[in-house]
Copies of this chain bind each other. A is one copy, B any other.
Protein backbone atom coordinates (compact mmCIF):
# COMPACT_ATOMS: atom_id res chain seq x y z
CA UNK A 1 0.00 0.00 0.00
CA UNK A 2 2.78 2.44 0.94
CA UNK A 3 4.71 1.51 -2.21
CA UNK A 4 1.59 2.09 -4.32
CA UNK A 5 1.09 5.49 -2.69
CA UNK A 6 4.73 6.47 -3.27
CA UNK A 7 4.50 5.36 -6.91
CA UNK A 8 1.38 7.45 -7.35
CA UNK A 9 3.03 10.52 -5.83
CA UNK A 10 6.04 10.03 -8.10
CA UNK A 11 3.83 9.78 -11.18
CA UNK A 12 2.02 12.98 -10.24
CA UNK A 13 5.32 14.79 -9.66
CA UNK A 14 6.67 13.79 -13.07
CA UNK A 15 4.68 15.83 -15.60
CA UNK A 16 7.02 14.95 -18.47
CA UNK A 17 5.98 11.29 -18.48
CA UNK A 18 4.92 10.40 -22.03
CA UNK A 19 1.22 9.90 -21.22
CA UNK A 20 0.87 12.59 -18.51
CA UNK A 21 -2.60 14.15 -18.72
CA UNK A 22 -3.82 11.52 -21.19
CA UNK A 23 -6.92 9.42 -20.37
CA UNK A 24 -6.42 5.79 -21.35
CA UNK A 25 -9.16 3.15 -21.33
CA UNK A 26 -8.11 -0.50 -21.60
CA UNK A 27 -10.48 -3.45 -21.97
CA UNK A 28 -9.19 -6.88 -20.91
CA UNK A 29 -10.17 -10.52 -20.60
CA UNK A 30 -12.69 -12.72 -22.33
CA UNK A 31 -16.36 -11.74 -22.19
CA UNK A 32 -18.94 -14.35 -21.21
CA UNK A 33 -22.28 -15.05 -22.87
CA UNK A 34 -24.64 -16.95 -20.57
CA UNK A 35 -26.73 -19.95 -21.63
CA UNK A 36 -28.33 -20.22 -18.18
CA UNK A 37 -27.41 -19.15 -14.61
CA UNK A 38 -24.52 -21.64 -14.56
CA UNK A 39 -23.16 -22.14 -18.10
CA UNK A 40 -21.66 -19.70 -20.57
CA UNK A 41 -19.61 -19.43 -23.75
CA UNK A 42 -16.26 -17.67 -23.47
CA UNK A 43 -12.73 -17.79 -24.89
CA UNK A 44 -9.17 -18.45 -23.80
CA UNK A 45 -8.25 -14.84 -23.04
CA UNK A 46 -6.58 -14.58 -19.63
CA UNK A 47 -6.69 -10.77 -19.46
CA UNK A 48 -2.90 -10.64 -18.92
CA UNK A 49 -2.12 -8.58 -22.04
CA UNK A 50 -4.75 -5.92 -21.18
CA UNK A 51 -3.69 -5.78 -17.53
CA UNK A 52 -0.04 -5.32 -18.62
CA UNK A 53 -1.05 -2.44 -20.93
CA UNK A 54 -3.09 -0.78 -18.15
CA UNK A 55 -0.12 -1.00 -15.81
CA UNK A 56 2.38 0.41 -18.34
CA UNK A 57 -0.05 3.23 -19.29
CA UNK A 58 -0.21 4.15 -15.60
CA UNK A 59 3.60 4.06 -15.30
CA UNK A 60 3.69 6.36 -18.35
CA UNK A 61 1.60 8.88 -16.40
CA UNK A 62 -1.89 8.32 -17.86
CA UNK A 63 -5.18 8.32 -15.98
CA UNK A 64 -6.19 4.72 -16.60
CA UNK A 65 -9.56 2.94 -16.54
CA UNK A 66 -9.44 -0.83 -16.94
CA UNK A 67 -12.70 -2.42 -18.07
CA UNK A 68 -12.19 -6.05 -17.20
CA UNK A 69 -14.02 -9.24 -18.05
CA UNK A 70 -11.49 -11.23 -16.01
CA UNK A 71 -11.81 -11.51 -12.26
CA UNK A 72 -8.79 -13.37 -10.98
CA UNK A 73 -5.91 -11.01 -11.85
CA UNK A 74 -4.82 -8.44 -9.25
CA UNK A 75 -5.75 -4.87 -10.25
CA UNK A 76 -2.70 -2.81 -11.26
CA UNK A 77 -1.85 -0.09 -8.75
CA UNK A 78 -3.40 3.33 -9.38
CA UNK A 79 -5.79 2.06 -12.03
CA UNK A 80 -9.60 2.33 -11.83
CA UNK A 81 -11.13 -1.09 -12.52
CA UNK A 82 -14.68 -1.78 -13.72
CA UNK A 83 -15.81 -5.39 -13.98
CA UNK A 84 -18.03 -6.50 -16.86
CA UNK A 85 -19.45 -9.82 -18.00
CA UNK A 86 -20.97 -9.91 -21.51
CA UNK A 87 -20.15 -8.16 -24.80
CA UNK A 88 -23.22 -5.94 -24.26
CA UNK A 89 -22.01 -4.93 -20.77
CA UNK A 90 -18.55 -4.17 -22.19
CA UNK A 91 -20.08 -2.00 -24.94
CA UNK A 92 -22.12 -0.05 -22.37
CA UNK A 93 -19.09 0.52 -20.13
CA UNK A 94 -16.80 1.63 -22.98
CA UNK A 95 -19.51 3.73 -24.57
CA UNK A 96 -20.05 5.65 -21.31
CA UNK A 97 -16.41 6.75 -21.13
CA UNK A 98 -15.53 6.93 -24.83
CA UNK A 99 -16.05 10.67 -25.39
CA UNK A 100 -13.68 11.43 -22.51
CA UNK A 101 -11.06 8.93 -23.67
CA UNK A 102 -7.84 9.85 -25.46
CA UNK A 103 -6.49 6.36 -26.10
CA UNK A 104 -8.71 3.28 -26.19
CA UNK A 105 -7.02 -0.12 -26.10
CA UNK A 106 -9.49 -2.90 -26.92
CA UNK A 107 -7.45 -5.85 -25.61
CA UNK A 108 -10.54 -7.78 -24.45
CA UNK A 109 -11.48 -10.85 -26.46
CA UNK A 110 -15.12 -10.01 -27.02
CA UNK A 111 -17.54 -12.86 -27.73
CA UNK A 112 -18.80 -12.62 -31.33
CA UNK A 113 -21.92 -14.68 -30.57
CA UNK A 114 -24.35 -15.14 -27.73
CA UNK A 115 -27.19 -17.65 -27.22
CA UNK A 116 -30.48 -16.33 -28.63
CA UNK A 117 -32.26 -17.47 -25.47
CA UNK A 118 -31.05 -17.16 -21.88
CA UNK A 119 -32.64 -19.79 -19.62
CA UNK A 120 -33.88 -18.56 -16.22
CA UNK A 121 -32.97 -21.85 -14.54
CA UNK A 122 -30.14 -24.34 -15.03
CA UNK A 123 -30.92 -26.39 -18.14
CA UNK A 124 -31.38 -30.07 -17.18
CA UNK A 125 -30.33 -32.99 -19.38
CA UNK A 126 -33.26 -34.26 -21.44
CA UNK A 127 -34.39 -37.69 -20.18
CA UNK A 128 -33.81 -39.26 -23.60
CA UNK A 129 -30.17 -38.05 -23.71
CA UNK A 130 -30.86 -36.40 -27.08
CA UNK A 131 -28.48 -33.90 -28.63
CA UNK A 132 -29.26 -30.24 -28.04
CA UNK A 133 -29.32 -27.43 -30.56
CA UNK A 134 -28.15 -24.02 -29.46
CA UNK A 135 -29.08 -20.97 -31.55
CA UNK A 136 -26.45 -18.24 -31.49
CA UNK A 137 -26.74 -14.66 -32.70
CA UNK A 138 -24.16 -11.92 -33.15
CA UNK A 139 -23.24 -9.66 -30.23
CA UNK A 140 -22.92 -5.89 -30.84
CA UNK A 141 -19.78 -4.93 -32.80
CA UNK A 142 -18.15 -2.60 -30.29
CA UNK A 143 -15.35 -1.21 -32.47
CA UNK A 144 -17.76 -0.59 -35.33
CA UNK A 145 -20.21 1.17 -32.99
CA UNK A 146 -17.45 3.39 -31.61
CA UNK A 147 -15.92 4.10 -35.06
CA UNK A 148 -19.05 6.11 -35.91
CA UNK A 149 -18.39 8.35 -32.89
CA UNK A 150 -14.64 8.73 -33.36
CA UNK A 151 -13.16 12.22 -32.93
CA UNK A 152 -9.70 12.71 -31.40
CA UNK A 153 -9.49 9.17 -29.96
CA UNK A 154 -6.55 6.94 -30.88
CA UNK A 155 -8.02 3.44 -31.00
CA UNK A 156 -5.95 0.26 -30.68
CA UNK A 157 -7.53 -3.08 -31.57
CA UNK A 158 -6.37 -6.68 -31.35
CA UNK A 159 -6.65 -9.53 -33.82
CA UNK A 160 -6.13 -13.04 -32.43
CA UNK A 161 -6.18 -15.48 -35.30
CA UNK A 162 -5.15 -19.03 -36.07
CA UNK A 163 -4.79 -18.47 -39.84
CA UNK A 164 -4.56 -15.65 -42.44
CA UNK A 165 -3.38 -13.43 -39.59
CA UNK A 166 -2.19 -10.33 -41.41
CA UNK A 167 -4.99 -10.37 -43.98
CA UNK A 168 -7.64 -10.60 -41.24
CA UNK A 169 -5.88 -7.96 -39.13
CA UNK A 170 -5.52 -5.53 -42.05
CA UNK A 171 -9.19 -5.91 -42.92
CA UNK A 172 -10.13 -5.14 -39.30
CA UNK A 173 -7.72 -2.15 -39.17
CA UNK A 174 -9.53 -0.55 -42.12
CA UNK A 175 -13.13 -1.55 -41.49
CA UNK A 176 -13.10 -0.52 -37.81
CA UNK A 177 -11.14 2.72 -38.45
CA UNK A 178 -8.38 1.69 -36.05
CA UNK A 179 -5.12 3.60 -35.63
CA UNK A 180 -3.17 0.51 -34.65
CA UNK A 181 -3.95 -3.17 -34.60
CA UNK A 182 -2.00 -5.74 -32.61
CA UNK A 183 -2.04 -9.02 -34.51
CA UNK A 184 -1.09 -12.28 -32.85
CA UNK A 185 -1.14 -15.82 -34.10
CA UNK A 186 -2.61 -17.67 -31.15
CA UNK A 187 -1.80 -21.05 -32.68
CA UNK A 188 1.95 -20.48 -32.05
CA UNK A 189 3.52 -21.70 -28.78
CA UNK A 190 4.26 -18.87 -26.33
CA UNK A 191 1.93 -16.49 -28.18
CA UNK A 192 -1.41 -15.03 -27.18
CA UNK A 193 -3.74 -16.44 -24.56
CA UNK A 194 -2.89 -17.41 -21.00
CA UNK A 195 0.91 -17.39 -21.20
CA UNK A 196 3.13 -14.65 -19.79
CA UNK A 197 4.80 -14.07 -23.14
CA UNK A 198 3.61 -12.85 -26.51
CA UNK A 199 4.87 -12.05 -29.99
CA UNK A 200 2.86 -9.61 -32.06
CA UNK A 201 2.83 -7.69 -35.31
CA UNK A 202 1.80 -4.02 -35.10
CA UNK A 203 -0.09 -2.73 -38.14
CA UNK A 204 -0.96 0.92 -38.80
CA UNK A 205 -2.58 2.57 -41.83
CA UNK A 206 -0.01 3.40 -44.56
CA UNK A 207 2.92 2.09 -42.51
CA UNK A 208 5.15 -0.94 -42.62
CA UNK A 209 4.22 -3.75 -40.20
CA UNK A 210 6.46 -4.09 -37.14
CA UNK A 211 6.94 -7.59 -35.70
CA UNK A 212 8.25 -7.87 -32.14
CA UNK A 213 10.45 -10.55 -30.64
CA UNK A 214 8.85 -13.13 -28.34
CA UNK A 215 8.87 -11.22 -25.02
CA UNK A 216 6.98 -10.81 -21.75
CA UNK A 217 3.55 -9.20 -22.00
CA UNK A 218 4.93 -6.24 -20.06
CA UNK A 219 7.62 -5.67 -22.72
CA UNK A 220 5.01 -6.05 -25.49
CA UNK A 221 2.74 -3.55 -23.66
CA UNK A 222 5.58 -0.99 -23.65
CA UNK A 223 6.18 -1.55 -27.36
CA UNK A 224 2.48 -1.04 -28.18
CA UNK A 225 2.20 2.16 -26.13
CA UNK A 226 5.51 3.68 -27.31
CA UNK A 227 4.39 3.05 -30.90
CA UNK A 228 1.09 4.83 -30.17
CA UNK A 229 2.90 7.69 -28.43
CA UNK A 230 5.23 8.11 -31.43
CA UNK A 231 2.06 8.54 -33.52
CA UNK A 232 0.95 11.35 -31.19
CA UNK A 233 -1.82 9.15 -29.84
CA UNK A 234 -4.92 10.84 -28.46
CA UNK A 235 -3.68 14.42 -28.51
CA UNK A 236 -6.68 16.72 -28.68
CA UNK A 237 -6.64 19.16 -31.60
Contact = CB atoms under 8 A, between A and B. Distances in A.
Interface of A: 35-44, 71-72, 109, 111-113, 116, 121-122, 124-125, 129, 131-138, 160-163, 168, 186-187, 193-194
Nearest to A71: B194
Q: How many copies does the complex hold?
A: 2
Given A43-B39, A162-B122, A187-B37, A133 B136 contact: yes
B162 A138 contact: no
A185 B131 CA distance: 26
A162 B44 contact: no
Contacts of A36: 162
Nearest to A134: B134
Contacts of A132: 113, 135-137
A194 B135 CA distance: 27
Given A39-B41, A121-B163, A131-B136, 5 more contacts: A37-B187, A38-B162, A40-B44, A113-B132, A122-B162
A109 B186 contact: no
B41 A41 contact: yes
A109 B162 contact: no
A137 B133 contact: no
B71 A38 contact: no
Contacts of A193: 38
